[in-house]
Amino acid sequence: MIPKRPIIVVDAGIPGAEESLAPLGEVRAVAAEKLSADRLRDATALVVRSVTRVDDALLDGTSVRWVGTATAGQDHVDRRALRRRGIRFASALGANAESVGDWVISALLELALRRETPLRGLAVGVVGVGQVGRRLVPRLAALGLTVWQNDPPRQRRAERAGRPHPFLPFSRVVERSDILTLHVPLVREGPDRTVALVDAAVLDRMRPGSWLLNASRGSVVDGGALLAALHRGAGPSAVALDTWEGEPRPDRALVARADLATPHVAGYAIDSKVEANRRVAGALARFLGVPEPPHPGSRTIPVILTPGPVGDPRDPLASERRLAELARRAYPILEDDRRLRAALPDGFEGLRTGYPERRLFSRYGVRLGPADPLRGAVERALRMRRVR
């Protein structure tokens, strides 16, 4: 029996969640590190982030009937335990996909400038073509990259249905790619296991001078093997990591060796957080059998950007310089990198809970002439709208 005024316990570190959930019941905000079975004794619903492990130990002796996570990832929730207890579950799958894509585009532009390597003509392997990966593929192509795709579950489904598909085996994608970007869920067992997907053997097979990006889960990359490869000059020559083994205490040596290091905030654009709250609140409303609460919406940003001049046509990095300038003004990824390096060893989680507001690239407008050679990349890769 669901009480008329259900008690909803929510992680206090989820911006805007209290406001979104307030029409549905009595909301109690609790810091993630203080969430416990005692705090949930009389709760009907629980809303968490990825920092909270939801399992039998947390749920024993509670009245929780519904669990939601304001994240795309679900590996912190023991779904089997929920099913045994008859507890319903919902996630914000896909809510942060565009934000993660912005992080990837920003990271690639920064790496291109640091390595003085134009992106056009390089091959990028997208490993995991789900909510993030499938949205990222056309953005990467708009930068002039050749895109290889790997997603075994989707490949099997397509082949069983007799449908054509773009997917290649993981080993072939690794061998063909100058850049590898990871967008898989954390799967601990079975044929599609992704724990240590990128291990010493994979690192050794990567192309000389290749780049590795990870904005999925830290344990998808064997951090020790990656650090060893970097020390001996093998594997990727450039690394951009947003997720880390051992969070919230990542290996400081690996952080130091990474070209770009950010504190698991790729999906943290405020627009994505608003959307995640909307999805979680809507799922809870359906469970409770009440109308979905009104959506607060994302504030329209009034900023119009103007890129720098076209520059020297002989400069092979002219496009990357102009695109990076626009990307930095919308999302200063180098500030995230600087803050993480300064915050270690103990400040990782504080960077996430106190993260400054950032907007999606698509919330910005860019003044471009109709013949500007940057137009296609701005509209399709950065997803910024052109304005007159």
Q: How many CB atoms lie within 10 A of CB 291?
A: 11
CA-to-CA distance for 9 and 343, rounded, in angstroms?
29
DSSP string covering 2-29: --SS-EEEEETTSTTHHHHHGGGSEEEE
Q: What tokens were used for 106?
A: 């920003």
Determine the residue type at 209: G
DSSP state of 167: B
Q: State in Å, rounded, how far the first CA of the chain is from the last one.
A: 58
Q: How far is CA 95 from CA 30, 69, 99, 192, in A?
A: 23, 11, 9, 23
> 308 in helix, strand or coil?
coil
Q: What tokens were used for 327?
A: 């990307």
Catalytic residue among 139, 217, 278, 279: 217
Residue 110 designated active-site = no
CA-to-CA distance for 114 and 185, rounded, in angstroms?
29
Residue whose entry in the numeric block shows the structure tokens 């990271």: 107
Nearest CA-CA partner of 213 in 258, 251, 255: 258
Residue 329 designated active-site = no
Determine the residue type at 52: T
Q: What tokens were used for 259?
A: 């070209």
Catalytic residue among 49, 264, 322, 352: 264
Residue 247 designated active-site = yes
Catalytic residue among 18, 19, 175, 247: 247
Please identify every residue annotated as catalytic: 217, 247, 264
